[in-house]
Amino acid sequence: MEGGKPTLALVYQAVQALYHDPDPAGKERASVWLGELQRSMYAWEISDQLLQLKQDVESCYFAAQTMKMKIQTSFYELPAETHIALRDSLLSHIQNLKDLSPIIVTQLALAIADLALQMASWKGCVHTLIEKYNNDISSMTFLIEILTVLPEEVHSRSLRIGANRRTEIIEDLAYYSSTVVTLLTTCVEKTGNDEKMLIKVFRCLGSWFNLGVLDSNFMASNQLLMVLFQVLQRDETSTNLHEAASDCVCSALYAIENVDTNMALALQLFQGVLTLETAYHMAVAREDLDKVLNYCRIFTELCETFLETTVRSPGQGMGDLRTLELLLICAGHPQYEVVEISFNFWYRLGEHLYKTNDPALHSIFRPYIQRLLHGLARHCQLDPDHEGIPEDTDDFGEFRMRVSDLVKDVIFLVGSMECFSQLYSTLKDGNPPWEVTEAVLFIMAAIAKSVDPENNPTLTEVLEQVVLLPETVHMAVRYTSIELVGEMSEVVDRNPRFLDPVLNYLMKGLREKPLASVAAKAIHNICSVCRDHMAQHFQGLLDIARALDSFALSTEAAVGLLKGTALVLARLPLEKIAECLSDLCAVQVMALKKLLAQDPSNGKTADPTVWLDRLAVIFRHTNPIVENGQTHPCQKVIQEIWPVLSETLNTHQADNRIVERCCRCLRFAVRCVGKGSASLLQPLVTQMVSVYQVYPHSCFLYLGSILVDEYGMEDGCRQGLLDMLQALCMPTFQLLEQPNGLRNHPDTVDDLFRLATRFVQRSPVTLLSSSIIVHIIQCAIAATTLDHRDANCSVMKFVRDLIHTGVSNDHEDDFEVRKQLIGQAMEQHGQQLVTQLMHTCCFCLPPYTLPDVAEVLWEIMVFDRPTFCRWLENALKGLPKETSGGAVTVTHKQLTDFHKQVTSAEECKQVCWAVREFTRLFR
């Protein structure tokens, strides 16, 4: 912090401004200044003084939060000899401030817990805290708060205490767990029905259950379990207490997931939950939705815990099927939010039964799934007074989408065909109100694709009836019937006689504003599945495409229609494709020309992205089958369109969004005609490079990678492509070398290494012999630390593929040259790369990236195992062996074991496993 340590008065002023300044700019300034203070060394002393002075809630909250943050992120700043003083000071603050505000107590409790986890010299912290405070009832609130957050913080992402220390702590907490439970029991006995205290006790107990350290036999006979169920059975229990008790029971059920090893506790919980059915009905009668939701959570957690038992021995012991009855009772509740809680369980049950594939077992569970589906269909009904189409973006719309997914997952138990027929017969035989009809059609649409379309009279009958629906039926019924038709495109493909009536029905929808988008989506589906039959209707599709903007379509639906049209276009005879493609593109090209001809109004030019996206989708999906030697039918059209795209790119070169859309369009154009785009190569590369010097949009690097992929194997193009790479690299390196350049521009990192990787794959010797390769490798080593999924993946893939070229395809002429060039590169950068990778995976990267790191280490080892062994040994020597709190991070044995596991590995996945285990020591 500039200007040395600030005075307490100044800090007070800033805190006051943060909370009370009426001017938002003043609040912002105070926030930035206090943020700087929190990052500085002065923060320790200042927060301690603020807590000592206890001037007001705001300054104490700021100080407590700062303490917690410093201990979490900057504990290494304190010398070891100050740790005890810090602990004593925090304990004295929490005692002095216990009545000021609960949020301050929580922040200080977190600070104490995080300190205890990092401070190796504080042995048996639970024991010392209980000894110190358990006789003083007024200290109970903060003691229980510390004991609640302590187990929660053990797996906190903010603390890198490492697996060794974490194991030590968990063993320690397990050892003292019964002491904690006894303390909580005594506390309940002493305070009787004090609701606030009961809530704290349940939260604390839940926290210890979540860590999985409670002795299940001890808990099975414990008084607290009885208290929990008594609270949940009582009708007069308040909402807050009910929620705390429910959370605690759910944690307990989750903790005994392995039922066989926790038999006694499992039985107590199982029997306890089954007693709550009456209480559930009482909550329904009182219309207390909060309690109903809590009971449903408990019933669902019960079913999840005993899932394997239920499937293994249905109806026997704890495989009692009353558990499923409880969930079906919840499914009968009128509010859809209740049944939604149980979805994950039903999905898992379906998955289990699908894997066991035992018809006898399926028949036991089938009636339950049938009743569930019946309930779900009812929940999907819109309100009878609903007007217009079903909304799919509100909460209820999202619920219906989740129902659709769940139905698809469990339908095999009931049989798609049987269910489809039953649903259809309810419409055919009865005359249900519109909202029932719509919900039935909705469920039919969810399962239509899983019904076998081969000569199936029910499916054809449904299709026949749906397309005859009059326009007078409710708009929502028409909407969902159109969705159903779109899902039945396989049936249309097998029964082409329906194509005309289906298309007529969908065209009616397309002309009506509320139905236009869903009809467009259905036409897109029909085009995708019935490409050959649709060829005769191409003119009709072309007419729709020309008049696209006269229909009230969403952007997505319009693009979908063009995609369908392009898919059908690709099935026309080759000689017709060029002319039809030209017609299809003409509307978009005319629109782009018109925009280019306009004078910019008040300095802004009109946005061309709609037209660029439409052209992109046409190029992307027009993929006719072209024999060798035949000219690609799309080549001429793309050459004619290029000048318009080039001019659009120039006009909007400063706008990243529009440039990205231009590049996307060009990418699909190049992909569409492949080598047929050769005439564009020179002008396109020239334009890309010149714009990139001024506006380094990363999409140019991506487009470059497409060009390398298409042309990198052509001898005549290699030097030109290398020149392009070098020209693009210069501004890229300047951008990435700025402070935080890598972190601020992950897209550029991603696209740069995608381009470099394409070069390695298509023309490795060209790249490896160039002067630019050293800079690219250096940049890659620096970028391995970047915690960004796509960027990191690109960097690792580049390094892996680069080293792999030194061992792959050893039968090819250039193998010796490649091997030698990779050898030189590794000699120069190998040690630095291995050291950086080890540091990166221990301290910078999340676990999901480790398989990529392991693949790089494996390739280095395959290339030169003896040298790699030496590099790895040196890298491991440089890792820290202790945490700043004095705990052992990694033992000598763990280092040598890891070295041996990696260097003796016979396949990459062994390296991956070893790296995953080893890095846990530093997390």
Name the DSSP class of 599: P
The C-alpha atoms of residue 222 and residue 811 are separated, in whole angstroms, by 72
CA distance 883 to 738: 32
d(CA 208, CA 280) in angstroms, rounded, equals 27
Measured distance CA(330)–CA(375) in Å, rounded: 10
- Note the pLDDT of residue 601: 64
**DSSP string covering 371-433:** HHHHHHHHHTPPPTT--SSPPSSSHHHHHHHHHHHHHHHHHHHH-HHHHHHHHHHHHHHS---
CA angle 528, 531, 534 (to 5 degrees): 115
Alpha carbon of 720 to those of 152, 708, 717, 755: distances in Å? 58, 10, 5, 14
List 882's β-bridge partners, or say none.
888
Q: Please enumerate in sequence order all residues whose Cβ is within 8 A of that of 360, keeping only pairs 6 or more positions apart, or say none.
A: none
For 609-623, letters b (16+ CB in 10 Å) and e give: bbbbbbbbbbbbbbe
Cβ atoms 372, 364 nearer than 8 A: no
Q: Which residues of 136-173 are buried (b: 16+ CB within 10 A; e: fewer)?
A: eeebbbbbbbbbbbbbbbbeeeebbbbbbbbebbbebb
What H or E segment, with its residue span, contains residue 819?
A: helix 815-843
Dihedral of the alpha carbons of 198, 204, 208, 210, in degrees to the nearest 10: 90
d(CA 649, CA 400): 42
> 604 pairs with which residues across the strands?
601
Q: Can you state the angle between helices 789-804 and 850-863, rounded to 10 degrees?
A: 10
From first CA to last CA, the distance across the chain in angstroms is 29
Return the number of other C-beta atoms located less than 10 Å from residue 906's C-beta. 7
Residue 143 CA to residue 730 CA, distance in Å, equals 60
DSSP string for residues in 224-248: HHHHHHHHHH-TT--HHHHHHHHHH
To the question of pTM greater than 0.85 for the whole model, the response is: yes
Give the model's pLDDT for residue 69: 95
Q: Would you give the DSSP letter of residue 497?
A: G
Low-confidence residues of the chain: pLDDT under 50: none
- For 83-103, b/e burial (b = at least 16 CB within 10 A) is beebbeebbebbbebbeeeee
CA distance 87 to 96: 14
Which three-class secondary structure state does DSSP give residue 795?
A: helix
- pLDDT of 402-433, one tens digit each? 999 999 999 999 999 999 999 999 888 878 99
Could you tell me which residues come within 8 angstroms of residue 535 by beta carbon, excluding any fewer than 6 positions away? Answer: 568, 571, 572
As given in the structure block, the two tokens for residue 890 are 């990694």
Q: 532 near 572, Cβ under 8 Å?
A: no
> By CB neighbour count within 10 A (0-12 exposed, 13-18 middle, 19+ buried), where does 221 fall?
exposed
Task: Supply the pLDDT for residue 192.
Answer: 77
Yes or no: say if 580 and 624 are a contact pair by the CB < 8 Å rule. no
For 380, 513, 580, 821, the CA distances from 527, given in Å and listed in that order, are 29, 22, 16, 51
Residues in CB range of 680: below 8 A, 6 or more apart: 638, 639, 642, 669, 670
Q: 3-class secondary structure for 652-672?
A: CCCCHHHHHHHHHHHHHHHHH
**Cα separation of 115 and 108, whole Å?**
10
- The crossing angle, in degrees rounded to 10, of helices 8-20 and 57-73 is 110
411 vs 370: CA distance, rounded Å:
9
Distance CA(845)–CA(853), nearest Å, equals 10
| pLDDT tens digits, 350-384 | 999 999 989 999 999 999 999 999 999 999 999 99
Half-sphere exposure of 374 (CA within 13 A, CB side): 11
Measured between alpha carbons, how far is residue 724 from residues 354, 642, 700, 853 in Å? 54, 20, 11, 29
Count of beta carbons in the 10 Å neighbourhood of residue 75: 21
Q: Closest Cα partner for 850 from 792, 922, 791?
A: 792
- Which of these, 504, 569, 576, lies nearest to 538 by C-alpha position? 569
- The predicted pLDDT at position 1 comes to 61
| Residues forming beta bridges with residue 888, ordered by sequence position | 882
- Number of neighbours of residue 399 by Cβ within 10 angstroms: 18
pLDDT at residue 187 in the model: 92
Are the C-beta atoms of 209 and 201 separated by less than 8 Å?
no
DSSP 3-state helix, strand, coil percentages of the chain (rounded to 5)?
Answer: 80, 0, 20
Per DSSP, the chain holds a count of helices (H) and strands (E) of 49, 0
Q: Are 610 and 661 spatial neighbours (Cβ–Cβ below 8 Å)?
A: no
